[in-house]
Amino acid sequence: MAWGDEKKPQHDLSVLQKMHQALMTGEEVPEEFQALVDAVKQLDNLPFPKTVDELENLTKQYPILWESKIGLIYGGATKIKQYVFEESKLPDIRGASGLLDRINLVDLAAFFNVIPQLSNCNYSIQCQEVRKWLNENFENEPNFSDALIPELIIYSTGGNILAFCPAAFVDDLANAIEKRYTEETLTANSCAVGERFRILETRFGLLKNNILETFWLEKISKRVSKYYC
């Protein structure tokens, strides 16, 4: 949200990094971000509206949450068994499985500046190379990797990743996930999809642009009552 809706951040990168550090350490955030931080803190405590009119009032009461957008990405390997077991020799099977695990648990996490600690292995060099690859393949100013932070990852395990990202990078991030699998495995199938959502939708689900057209609880109740009557 603080990054903005464009690939170029709406604030200086050093200021964004300062805000991120302040949030991590519990310090006071820069003044220009205070309203944004306050709105996000209120998100989890918003009462669930029972009528569409109450929902509309929330969009007016919290315009930042209604107007700001964030990207959501889901992706990973597909047809895993087909890829892993296309080799007949056990060492080759283990190698294929290990490669997929490394991409999912290390490479994709490295997009978000995370250095995983797995099996007492140090992946610092691998993660640096992954971020360099990301920035070279998806050029941006500042770097693509500067827009991604560890806290955006919802989960990255089981062969898939689910994560938020600044709205402008949805397509690039989906493409980067698929391209990483292709370049590293050559033959493994992968798929990544993404969409942009309003912040308020992370709390209440999909909403219509015209909020009054949203199919809400009161309409459900009327249909249920009509059915049982």
Which CATH number do you get for residue 89?
Answer: 3.30.70
What is the count of structural domains for the chain? Answer: 1
Tell me, yes or no, whether 222 lies in a domain.
no
Tell me, yes or no, whether 77 lies in a domain.
yes
- Separation CA 9–CA 144 (nearest Å): 11
Tell me, yes or no, whether 126 lies in a domain.
yes
pLDDT in tens, 41-53: 899 889 999 899 9
Tell me, yes or no, whether 47 lies in a domain.
no
State pTM to two decimals.
0.85
Average pLDDT of the chain to the nearest whole number: 85
Tell me, yes or no, whether 55 lies in a domain.
no
- Whether residue 142 is preceded by a cis peptide bond, meaning omega within 30 degrees of 0, is yes
| Cα 117 from chain centre | 21
Tell me, yes or no, whether 14 lies in a domain.
no
pLDDT for residue 90: 40
pLDDT for residue 64: 92
Tell me, yes or no, whether 24 lies in a domain.
no
Tell me, yes or no, whether 57 lies in a domain.
no
CA-based torsion, 157, 159, 162, 166: positive or negative: positive
Which of the two residues, 81 and 183, has the higher pLDDT score? 183
- What is the extent of the structural domain holding 177? 69-197
- Separation CA 121–CA 114 (nearest Å): 14
